[in-house]
Amino acid sequence: MATSVVGVDMGSSMLRGVEVADPGSAKPTLLRYHQVPLPAGAVSSGEVLEPNTVAAALKQLWTTGGFKSKNVVLGMGNQRVLARDLSVPKMSLARIRESLPFEVQEMLPIPVADAILDFYPITEIEGDNGPMVRGLLIAAVKAAVLANVNTTQLAGLTTVDVDLIPFALSRALLSRPGVEGTVAVVDIGGSTTSVVIAIDGVPQFVRIIATGGDDITQALRADVPPGLEQPEDLKRRLGLATGPVAAADKQAVELIYKIASEQLTSLRNTISYFVNTRPIDSVHRIVLSGGGAQLRGLREALAELTRINVEIGDPFTTLALGRGVTADDLRRDGSAFTVALGLALGRAA
């Protein structure tokens, strides 16, 4: 009997879920996906601030989306999560994890007792005193993780795993499709942007940037005189406009360009940092995902700024589609569900 799990992406303004059957198989089945809006302030940068409000939204998501499984995988990816390079003496992964509290205190901005620690091994290297394992230290603020887990319990759901969002992105867009070479995945959410650089599908570098698509919306709401058009609709219509601009839109266009340019420069600098520290691993492709990646003209602007080929990712190529799920709908809506899908795929049922 097929078993399924739901990946849940808690955004600042939207709650998204993707249910996948047999996520550990060679070709899992996408059963259903759905989203519901969240009230402002209920979630900030992926961290639940109003548990009862979000629990009610989760119940609504299950009802309106028709999800069957009660097992969920949550993602963490904000400024309360740290991912850094770490090399440790070669030993079993279990022993490495046991040793982390004694190895990494100086790397953390908080006491070890307040953090959840994990280690993602990448490769073995030869150190001065023998074999070493090079990988990524993952540290998350314990209170933030528990707040999200407790919220799912309030909704009658069971959290079976908590994953790092950049790992979920890499899994959905690079690892499973078998993308070769050094590729950067950039997921632009509402309040955060996740960057993961992978070599042959294996994550090597992770950064979480505290900006997203909502920054533009909020700037429009604050600085552009109110009119008939809502800020989100205005942003969607204008994007990074090229060609003649109507006088009534000039202020909004200039503001969108200003905020987007700052975000794109931050992305370029992040990728450049990786390349400068790993000159033999030049990034040859950028894969975009997330709701913010749909901003008109953004893909072309990022390609021009970085001089790297940029494409919109398709996370659904390695999946079978369940009854009622169509390829046309996925092409229209799919990018915003990449995180939730990657989370579900990480759970081998």
The burial class, CB within 10 Å (0-12 / 13-18 / 19+), for 70 is middle
Portions of the chain given CATH number 3.30.1490.300: 81-141
Q: CB of 82 within 8 A of CB of 118?
A: no
Dihedral angle over CA of 172, 94, 134, 198, nearest 10: 0
Query: Residue 237 and residue 230: Cα distance in Å, rounded?
Result: 11
Share of residues in the chain with pLDDT > 90 (%): 64
The pLDDT tens digits for 153-192 are 999 999 999 999 999 999 999 988 888 999 999 999 888 8
Q: What's the average model confidence in pLDDT over 106-117?
A: 89
The pLDDT tens digits for 8-39 are 999 888 999 999 999 988 889 999 999 999 99
The burial class, CB within 10 Å (0-12 / 13-18 / 19+), for 183 is buried
pLDDT at 15: 95
CATH fold of 177-313 reads: Nucleotidyltransferase; domain 5 (3.30.420)
Is the pLDDT reported for residue 310 higher than 60?
A: yes
Portions of the chain given CATH number 3.30.420.40: 177-313
Q: For residue 349, name the pLDDT band (cuts at 50, 70, 90).
A: very low
pLDDT at 1: 41
Looking at domain 81-141, its CATH class is alpha beta
β-strand partners of 198 = 183, 203
Query: Residue 10 and residue 76: Cα distance in Å, rounded?
Result: 9
pTM for this prediction: 0.88
Share of residues in the chain with pLDDT > 70 (%): 98
User: How far is the CA of 202 from the CAs of 173, 210, 308, 309, in angstroms?
Assistant: 11, 24, 20, 20
Query: Residue 210 and residue 218: Cα distance in Å, rounded?
Result: 14
Query: Residue 315 and residue 150: Cα distance in Å, rounded?
Result: 29
The pLDDT tens digits for 250-264 are 999 999 999 999 999
Give SS3 for 200: coil
Query: Residue 66 and residue 17: Cα distance in Å, rounded?
Result: 11
